[in-house]
Structure 1
């Protein structure tokens, strides 16, 4: 059943995705449970505002995640559908030294649709204060608008950053936003 927050160019019907970063830069491949690439994204270099364009596994433009401001420490990142040109959701980072917390919001009303929160406060604090702590994979929990647990983003020990994103099928949390957030938060939290 289509949702207001679906992206027209992408159909993420699975409940589990693998996100892998390339060795060289903030470039990501997203695979479904069958191992097929469903999305690719990369951080554009030398931009005043952070920008992450994503394409489908076939190479068609899917969506773009773009910062709302220049050098956005605790800000918002709009996800814009490449097919319609409209903002679908906003990823809002709630900056804190002790917890990495992202809220997926409706772009017009600001209503919270989901929250992605790190599970380990000590690791979150260390990741902000000590560079080598980024080598330890982090884990995040996904909550819906009612505060119910609906999924996880689990980091894996690997030469390059790798995450497993799991979202309950019954959830109305926008999967594209959560998968994009896994890539974006990896890139931004490691800076």
Structure 2
């Protein structure tokens, strides 16, 4: 099953199966590199707005998409991913707030159909990351599944001072690849890891 072009993001082509996301030492500023080490996206959380906003640019600084919170200081809620060039809403990132496991649904912005899920690796690790001293240094891991619960990829953190993680898509036949990769890149910033 191939996914429709309506999920494509103008101005960026995320065609690789592997990306590395690196957070700068200044919190909530990100750079995504393709498998060859080329920067493909840069993002930074705007902290002084009433609603959280994460604009992303291509390697040349041209804005390609934005993720905005549905409400003021949205801890567990909806975040809209919109194409910056067309203004079209593409997908909604929907977080089920829990201290035991992080679960994100990626839904179609128009129909609200679930396209994919991103789930953390379990309660013990989530609790340790949130409550132990230096727990944020524990690398995070997520599984990416399609709407039927079938594995399509993973997000694996690396042990480092900078928050660094790999996004690997094993099978993008049943999910819209660009919004899934974009969503994976902003989840870390949204959760304030």
Q: TM-score under structure 1 normalisation? A: 0.93
- Indicate the residue corresponding to 2:108 in structure 1: 106
How far residue 38 of structure 1 moved from its aligned partner, in angstroms, is: 0.6
Question: 1:9-88 residue pairs with structure 2 within 5 A?
Answer: 9-88=11-90
Q: 1:8 aligns with which of 7, 10, 34?
A: 10
How many pairs align? 191
Q: 2:160 aligns with which of 155, 158, 174?
A: 158
1:141-163 Cα deviation digits (max 9, x unpaired): 00011111000000000111001
1:154-184 Cα deviation digits (max 9, x unpaired): 0000111001000125433233323332332
Deviates more, 1:174-183 or 1:142-151: 174-183
Are 1:20 and 1:161, in contact at CA under 8 Å, matched by a contact in 2?
yes
How far residue 8 of structure 1 moved from its aligned partner, in angstroms, is: 1.6
Are 1:51 and 1:65, in contact at CA under 8 Å, matched by a contact in 2?
yes
SS of residue paired to 2:5:
coil
Deviates more, 1:124-133 or 1:140-149: 124-133
Q: Point out where structure 2 has 5 or more consecutive residues left out of the alignment.
A: none
Q: Point out where structure 1 has 5 or more consecutive residues left out of the alignment.
A: none
Are 1:134 and 1:190, in contact at CA under 8 Å, matched by a contact in 2?
no
Q: 2:141 aligns with which of 139, 142, 154?
A: 139
Are 2:153 and 2:171, in contact at CA under 8 Å, matched by a contact in 1?
no
Are 1:40 and 1:55, in contact at CA under 8 Å, matched by a contact in 2?
yes
Q: Tell me the distance in 1 between the aligned counterparts of 2:192 and 2:53.
A: 16
